Structure 1
Amino acid sequence: MIETLNGLVETVNYKQSTSLKLYDNDEYEDYPPHWHAAIEIIMPIRSCYDLNCAGESVSLREGDIIIICPGCIHSIKAPEEGQRIIFQPDTTELRFMHEVETLISIMSPYIVVTPEDYPQIYTKVRSILLEIAEIYKENASFSEVDIYCKLLEFLSCIGKNFVKRSVEDDPVEHVRRDEYFERFIEICDYIQEHCSEDLSLDEIAGKSGFSKFYFSRRFKQFTNVSFYKYVNQKRIAKAETYLIDPRNSITDVALNCGFPSLSSFIRMFKIIKNCTPTEFRNMYWTSR
């Protein structure tokens, strides 16, 4: 169930003294459109589960796993009978690791892990999720540490699979895949650090050592979005941190996050967050 919802923003009420929330959910309850700062992992145990994520319809069968990234607007329609695991860990402190930050960007807004699409890792990630649920239920000493260790293993499996799939159709790239992955992590780190500046495709392609056209193609394979959409996502994420402080005017936030005008900032914010910067600020402080 959603315990705290203001507008579209859910404040996840983590288990006491932890940054984790896990439901063994069997309730017949629909969830309205909402988003939250926590990543969300859902796996039906009995019956199906229908969602709408970022405007797209998703139907989960028993055992399918969906990973919904922070900031993704989603709604859920529950069957009359069924059971599912709903796991919401706070990954904020994990994102200092470049590979975790990059993987979340690649997966955004969501991915669905099925036996057909992820045959090499599906059994393992399903097993890890079930182990997490069991550890959470037992609530023994250091269970939070154990769960985060399992979560990192879960994310590592998915990340390695992305790397493998991105180059498996190219034998030459297969030989260089580690170098390729590291190079794009460095590029994503650079964009993260300099997203408030006037970044051009030509400039970033030059830093990568690739031609503009090759870079554009590979960057989209790596992140699942175009270069400019990725930059705007990072700018909006940065803007959220400024908007939390009511002393910062909306105009100042727009200019400090790389937008040429207030109107372009509001337009892009609404495209990505489905609300205006002012609405976001109001919902944040209402939820507090």
Structure 2
Amino acid sequence: MIETLDGIFETVHYKQSTTLKLYDNREYEDYPKHWHPAIEIIMPVENGYTMQFSNSEVYLREKDICIICPGCVHAIKAPETGRRIIFQPNTTYLRFLREFEVLISFMSPYAIITPEDYPSIHEQLVNMLVEIKEEYMAGTSFSELSIYSKILEMFKLIGQNYSSKTTKTNDYSVSSKEDYANKFVEICDYIDNHCSEDLKLDEVADMSGFSKFYFERLFKQFTGTSFYKYVNQKRIAKASELLIEPGNSVTDVALNCGFMSISSFIRMFKLQKGCTPTEFKSMYWSLEIERSGEKAELVQ
């Protein structure tokens, strides 16, 4: 269930003394459009589950796994009977890992893991998610550490499998699949670090050693999105971080994130986040004030 919803922003209330939240959900309950900073991993165990996103609807069968990236607006329509695992780990502190950050960008806004698309790892991921559920419910010593080790292992498997899938083609000239994957991880890392600058497709293509046309094809094949859409995703991600810092105005954030006009920034932010930058800022600080009040009560 959603415990706290402010507009479409969900506050995730983690299990006490952890940064994890998991439901072994059996309720007949629809969830309205919402988003949250936490990653969400959903797997139906009995009966299916319907996920609704901004421009698509996905039906999850039993043991299909849906990974919803931070900031993705989604809604859920539940069947009258069924059971599913809904897992929300806070992965903020994992974002400093370059490969983890790049993989989240590739999967954004969501990814569906099925036995057809991921035959070599699907069963292993299902078993790991069940193990996470059992450890979470048991709450034994160091279970949080064990769960995060499994989360990293899951994303490692997905990343390795993703790289393998995207390099199953003969229309590239790098010497091996590993070189191909590494080259585009480096390119995405460069974009992440320079997204606030005026990045040009031609210039980045030159850096990669590919022609503009060839680079554009390969970039979309590897990331699942176009070059400029990827750049905008990274700009909005950076803007989200700057907006919650005290003293930063919406105008300052827009200019510092590479947007040439406030209107284009607001339009792009709302398209990706489902709310305006001002609403996002307001919701965050309302939450912080609420948390401060809770801490003060505990101290007293």
TM-score category, normalised to shorter length: over 0.9
Measure the CA separation in 1 of the matches of 2:169 and 2:185.
21
1:4-52 Cα shifts (integer Å, max 9, x gaps): 1111111111111111111101111111100111111000111111110
1:32 counterpart SS class: strand
Shift of 1:164: 0.8
Match of 1:106? 106
After the TM superposition, which of the residue ranges 174-183 and 265-274 deviates more from structure 2? 174-183
1:187-225 Cα shifts (integer Å, max 9, x gaps): 111111111111111111111121111111111111111
- Structure 1-normalised TM-score? 0.96
Match of 2:67? 67
2:220 counterpart SS class: helix
Answer yes or no: is the 8 Å Cα contact 1:198–1:258 preserved in 2.
yes
- Structure 2-normalised TM-score? 0.92
Show the 5 A alignment for 1:1-80.
1-80=1-80
2:51 counterpart SS class: strand
2:183 is matched by which residue type in structure 1? R
In structure 2, do the counterparts of structure 1 residues 37 and 81 end up closer, same or farther at CA, with 3 Å as the change threshold? same
Answer yes or no: is the 8 Å Cα contact 2:167–2:180 preserved in 1.
no
* 1:239 to 2:239 alignment: yes
Match of 2:122? 122
* 1:205 to 2:205 alignment: yes
* 1:82 to 2:82 alignment: yes
In structure 2, do the counterparts of structure 1 residues 193 and 171 end up closer, same or farther at CA, with 3 Å as the change threshold? closer
Measure the CA separation in 2 of the matches of 1:174 and 1:231.
24
Match of 1:151? 151
In structure 2, do the counterparts of structure 1 residues 78 and 188 end up closer, same or farther at CA, with 3 Å as the change threshold? same
**Identity among equivalent pairs (%):** 62
Match of 1:283? 283
Answer yes or no: is the 8 Å Cα contact 2:44–2:60 preserved in 1.
yes
Answer yes or no: is the 8 Å Cα contact 2:220–2:226 preserved in 1.
yes
Answer yes or no: is the 8 Å Cα contact 1:167–1:174 preserved in 2.
no
1:230 is matched by which residue type in structure 2? Y
In structure 2, do the counterparts of structure 1 residues 275 and 198 end up closer, same or farther at CA, with 3 Å as the change threshold? same
In structure 2, do the counterparts of structure 1 residues 173 and 78 end up closer, same or farther at CA, with 3 Å as the change threshold? farther
1:188 is matched by which residue type in structure 2? C
* 1:218 to 2:218 alignment: yes
- CA-based RMSD: 1.5
1:49-94 Cα shifts (integer Å, max 9, x gaps): 1110233111111111111111110000111111100011111111
Measure the CA separation in 1 of the matches of 2:28 and 2:285.
30
Match of 1:259? 259
* 1:193 to 2:193 alignment: yes
In structure 2, do the counterparts of structure 1 residues 172 and 226 end up closer, same or farther at CA, with 3 Å as the change threshold? closer
Measure the CA separation in 2 of the matches of 1:250 and 1:164.
41
Measure the CA separation in 1 of the matches of 2:168 and 2:217.
16
Answer yes or no: is the 8 Å Cα contact 2:167–2:181 preserved in 1.
no
Answer yes or no: is the 8 Å Cα contact 1:235–1:258 preserved in 2.
yes
Measure the CA separation in 2 of the matches of 1:223 and 1:83.
32
Measure the CA separation in 1 of the matches of 2:177 and 2:274.
36
2:120 is matched by which residue type in structure 1? Q
2:253 is matched by which residue type in structure 1? V
Answer yes or no: is the 8 Å Cα contact 2:174–2:180 preserved in 1.
no
2:116 counterpart SS class: coil
The size of the alignment, in residue pairs, is: 288
